[in-house]
A = this chain, B = another copy of it.
């Protein structure tokens, strides 16, 4: 254990699983430590400092841009952290696809991650489930996109998060009914095919808001 680690004996790390949708796959930002080992970005928790704020600052430091959305995961003391820290608090964040990885780090597909310390490997493996858990009540999918996006882009992100193909007409009908997006007067030319209109995330009030019903459909797996 290094001198740095012993200074922090008994303390906790804040670990960041930064996610981005790239080429139809979910990617995670992995940095290279001094020795060349692959690690997720982390920082030490400071007594009295807000953990979520620290995670946001870490995202800005490592990425040069703020995370568009962030959620805390389950703190864990299991398995080995790169630092040997006893306790780690994971934060899962998302950014748009235009954010490039700074030098010393790279986006890796969540299907083919490099060798991480076991605790960080578990955090990365749980990231998609964390996004799925919150995507119905938080604009996770929209935060994985730039401010202006096409409806096909949005559908692809939902397909990525759900792990399932969706039907275009149904998707757009449901989206329309939810009053979540407004069209802009910009159109994107993709090369071939008809240009696509760009939309913005702009949720509006809706009657019957929050009156959700029972959902048994996910219970029996």
Contact = CB atoms under 8 A, between A and B. Distances in A.
Contact of A220 (B10, B47, B174, B205): B205
A86 interface: yes
A178 B209 contact: no
A212 B162 contact: yes
A200 interface: no
Interface in A70-104: 72, 74-78, 86-87, 89
Copies of this chain present = 2
A2 interface: no
Contact of A77 (B47, B210, B216, B221): B47
A216 B12 contact: no
Contacts of A219: 136-139, 178, 180, 203
Interface of A: 10-12, 45, 47-52, 72, 74-78, 86-87, 89, 133-134, 136-139, 158, 162, 164, 166, 170-171, 174-175, 177-180, 203-206, 209-221
